[in-house]
Chains A and B, each alone.
Chain A
């Protein structure tokens, strides 16, 4: 299994509070991703990173920001959580920009009440 650790694994938070999810990898892979998983939607890309301090938006980036100050860490922040952001969040990593396998972490379950 790829060395990907997500924290926290489970969190309940209140509407309007900030939340940060952390993804830590030990594979030294350059490319990192944040996806969210919702019933009926599969997984959708929120943000991705192609290097330290290099990030870009995915298809569902509104309400989210990311930061990558070190190769091994990719942070996802909900500045002001809303109930629509209740979801399971998956971090993923890859060592190639194209044609290679993307490995997933075990997920972070976030509930916004």
Chain B
């Protein structure tokens, strides 16, 4: 069955430091991959998505992610973290068992930014 693993429940990064959030997926077919961000009390906002083509994907707010098929990974990166990036981040894989896409989510990684 398809699944998404985000191994880090919490990560603390100093403001200005680089960030990498890990995501591994399990899915037999070509995956559609997404990263969403959720601020406290808010809904989910799409950061970026991968469907095909270039394996390095650029998103909003200076984020990027790299799809590595050999490692079944889709890690999220940002070169310099800002305090406003503190939020919860969700990786998701789009699955199409009957031609209808549904999202399977990881359990999320909460990012804390220290001064």
Let me know if A48 and B42 touch, CB within 8 A.
no
Interface size on A, residues (CB 8 A): 26
Let me know if A106 and B42 touch, CB within 8 A.
yes
What size tier do the contact residues of chain B reach? 20 to 34
Let me know if B101 and A98 touch, CB within 8 A.
yes
Let me know if A43 and B99 touch, CB within 8 A.
no
Let me know if B101 and A96 touch, CB within 8 A.
yes
Let me know if B46 and A103 touch, CB within 8 A.
yes
Q: Known contacts A42-B90, A43-B90; is A97 also within 8 Å of B99 by CB?
A: yes
Let me know if A107 and B103 touch, CB within 8 A.
no
B residues within 8 A CB of A64?
none
B residues within 8 A CB of A105?
43
Let me know if A42 and B106 touch, CB within 8 A.
yes
Q: Which 5 pairs of residues, A with B, have the shortest CB-CB distance?
A: A42-B105, A106-B43, A104-B44, A98-B101, A43-B105
Which of A31, A50, A94, A104: most chain B CB closer than 10 A? A104
Let me know if B107 and A41 touch, CB within 8 A.
yes
Q: Known contacts A42-B108, A106-B42; is A98 also within 8 Å of B103 by CB?
A: no
**Contact digits for B88-115, partner A, Cβ 8 Å, 1 yes 0 no:** 0010101010011111011110000000
